[in-house]
Amino acid sequence: MRVGLDVGGTKTDAVAVDGSGEIVGRVRRPTGWGPDAVVQGIIETTFALADEAGFSISDIASVGVGIPGMVDSASGRVLHAVNLGVESLDIAERARPVIDAPFAVENDVKAAALGAASLRPGDASMAYLNLGTGVAAGVITDGRIWRGMHGSAGEVGHISVDPHGRVCGCGQRGCVETLCGGGALARAWGRPGELPVLDIFDAAEAGDPVAAGLRADLARGAAAAVRILVLSVDVETVVIGGGLTALGARLEADIVQTLRADAENSAFMRSLRLDERIELLPTGSPVAALGAALLVAAPVECTIPVKETAAHG
Amino acid sequence: MRVGLDVGGTKTDAVAVDGSGEIVGRVRRPTGWGPDAVVQGIIETTFALADEAGFSISDIASVGVGIPGMVDSASGRVLHAVNLGVESLDIAERARPVIDAPFAVENDVKAAALGAASLRPGDASMAYLNLGTGVAAGVITDGRIWRGMHGSAGEVGHISVDPHGRVCGCGQRGCVETLCGGGALARAWGRPGELPVLDIFDAAEAGDPVAAGLRADLARGAAAAVRILVLSVDVETVVIGGGLTALGARLEADIVQTLRADAENSAFMRSLRLDERIELLPTGSPVAALGAALLVAAPVECTIPVKETAAHG
């Protein structure tokens, strides 16, 4: 049994994947703050998952962890996971005395990309674009995570697409993330609410011009990210996931419409058929946990199971 | 002997490369217009090169052709090479009755990327950014051209980075190419002259505010392309070539300065050290012809010679 955990800022999503690549169990639990709580949470969630899916800890073939932070690909050490209060943490070293299995750790968006790719075994390459509090993408080619030289492959959230745009948390102006990041949109909206981006969409539909502008920004930023991924890496498909997919069909329609409008004056853009190359994941899809389960431990090398890639041919 | 030809809009640059990967001969001749003239030019230039370097046509192991247009990677057919008056052309089929050697054809920027990479055998990945009349990049990873799914990998020239920017030849607004393409800059400058971008630089130094703005645009566009390549593909190095490198140290200084200024407010951008990851080729460097010579014919698969990649380890 392979276990995959997506350790998010507020909750941890865990799945158990059997030898044929099927998800046979899933649990979600709150995530703790700081390295001790994160490790304890990973252990407890794994035990809860074993309980839920009816397997024992000794049946675990591997544990994969997706985590929002930098992951040193050689050592598996997590660095600067600021949303979890983690500066530097070797999860494997800390958890292995309790769960005696190989651990693999990966950045959560890259893990999600692997999970999303495993659901599309026909694609030789794809990108997973995560629209959450922040914005980043993971690129998969030939069933493997494309990390780049320093792990910044797919960091399209911090490419500036408007020199006069809003200042980004990263210090630049007009980053893709300032347009389509949930955090940036909530700050620009500035009104209280549990789900500010949902409020923006509703207010836009009720005629609020500020909301309409921000809603257009979201589609514009996502469209820019898709364009960048196709015109740099040239992936076949861009699968869109993350918290903002809770907006569902409304978000997808906005992005498709924006891509089509942008292509109206450009035969070159039309030739790329970007509107046909995106796909929105259903909200709550456990792609990051699934991808984490598919990580191969030590060395951190990532492959889609043979069953899946066999379908390529 | 391997022959490589860079068939440009006005001239064809050809090199002969021996078994150890060294350039042992080079000739440059004007390029003709239309498919017949293009094929005839390739044949004549190859004969001139053999004459110059002292080998016979029967010594040719392969002929590689880099050409500004789309190249179907399966068939090697050139499509839409509008600057050469070529709509569709099978160079190999037409030239092989005269030069009996395997032919390989590739887009010129992708060929140049391969050539530039062969000069940097230590890099596991790099991009070649061509600043010419237009702007495009080629990406090399593990010694091979990264084509992407539909050959649009590296087409960073047509990523919009300013919604209020100038209209691009492609129909979009604010494309990277509108900022740092020689054609777009010449149009924006609008004054007669043999070398408009050189005129822009000189006029900027003499205090002309329009020229200063365009000069800043050039650096801004090139910096944006570098940022996009690192934050999408994450190559180690971006090697800059193309006609605009005739500006030499002035251009390099402008780009470095722009990258540094952009990083001033962003710890994230500083961490990427983009200013240290660019390199300007000497003007007239025959990277496209060299890369064409390194193309491997049928199937169009492209590798740096073993001698070079051996230095990787």
The CATH number that applies at residue A134 is 3.30.420.40
| Overall number of domains in chain A | 2
B53 with B78, same domain: the answer is yes
B159 Cβ under 8 Å from any chain A Cβ: yes
| Beta-sheet pairing, B62-67 with B103-107 | parallel
Q: Rounded to 5 degrees, what angle do the CA atoms B258, B259, B261 make?
A: 60
B139 with B185, same domain: the answer is yes
Contact assignment for B162 to A163 by CB distance below 8 Å? yes
B70: closest CA among B13, B11, B110?
B110
Classify the C-alpha dihedral B170-B172-B178-B180 as positive or negative: negative
B230 Cβ under 8 Å from any chain A Cβ: yes
A301 with A196, same domain: the answer is no
A166 with A41, same domain: the answer is no
How deeply is B209 buried, as exposed, middle or buried, from its count of CB atoms within 10 A (0-12, 13-18, 19+)? exposed
Structure tokens at A281: 């994941």
A73 pLDDT band, cuts 50/70/90, is: confident
A305 pLDDT band, cuts 50/70/90, is: very low
Tell me the mean pLDDT in the region A201-212. Answer: 98
B44 with B102, same domain: the answer is yes
pLDDT of residue A215: 98
A92 with A239, same domain: the answer is no
pLDDT of residue B312: 34
Q: How far apart are CA A313 and CA B61, in angstroms?
A: 33
Contact assignment for A153 to B232 by CB distance below 8 Å? yes
A48: closest CA among A98, A18, A14, A17?
A14
Q: Which domain covers residue B93, as residue numbers?
A: 2-113+286-310
Element (DSSP H or E) covering residue B238: strand B237-241
Closest in A162, A164, A234 to B148, CB measured: A234
Q: How far apart are CA A45 and CA B102, in angstroms?
A: 60
Classify the C-alpha dihedral B186-B187-B190-B193 as positive or negative: positive
Structure tokens at A256: 């498709």
Long-range contacts of A20-28 (CB under 8 A, 24+ apart): A20/A305, A20/A307, A21/A118, A21/A294, A21/A305, A21/A307, A21/A308, A23/A286, A23/A290, A24/A53, A25/A49, A25/A52, A25/A53, A25/A54, A25/A55, A26/A52, A26/A286, A26/A289, A27/A52
Structure tokens at B51: 């004459």
A247 with A190, same domain: the answer is yes
A281 pLDDT band, cuts 50/70/90, is: very high
A79 with A59, same domain: the answer is yes
Alpha carbon B72 to its chain's center: 18
Structure tokens at B102: 């395997």
A266 Cβ under 8 Å from any chain B Cβ: yes
Predicted confidence pLDDT, tens digits, chain B (313 residues):
999 999 998 899 999 999 998 999 999 999 999 999 999 999 999 999 999 999 999 999 999 999 998 998 788 899 989 889 999 999 999 999 999 999 999 999 999 999 999 999 888 899 999 999 999 999 999 899 999 999 899 999 999 999 999 999 999 999 999 999 999 999 999 999 999 999 999 999 999 999 999 999 999 999 999 999 999 999 999 999 999 999 999 999 999 999 999 999 999 999 999 999 999 999 999 999 999 999 975 433 444 443 333 333 2
Q: Rounded to 5 degrees, what angle do the CA atoms B307, B310, B313 make?
A: 160
Tell me the mean pLDDT in the region A297-303. Answer: 44
Per-residue pLDDT tens digits for B264-280: 999 999 999 999 999 99
Per-residue pLDDT tens digits for A137-177: 999 998 999 999 998 999 999 999 999 999 999 999 999 99
Per-residue pLDDT tens digits for A49-71: 999 999 999 999 999 999 998 99
Beta strands in A170-305 (DSSP E): 237-241, 278-280, 295-296, 301-302
Q: How far apart are CA A214 and CA A199, in angstroms?
A: 11
A97 with A190, same domain: the answer is no
A202 with A263, same domain: the answer is yes
Q: Which residues of A touch B236 (CB under 8 A)?
A: 149
B244 with B126, same domain: the answer is yes
Structure tokens at A81: 């996971």
Task: Name the A residues in 82-111 with CB < 8 Å from any B CB.
Answer: none
Residue A300 has pLDDT above 90, yes or no: no
A225 pLDDT band, cuts 50/70/90, is: very high
A252 with A175, same domain: the answer is yes
Beta strands in A9-54 (DSSP E): 11-17, 23-30
What mean pLDDT, rounded, does chain A reach?
92
Residue A313 has pLDDT above 60, yes or no: no
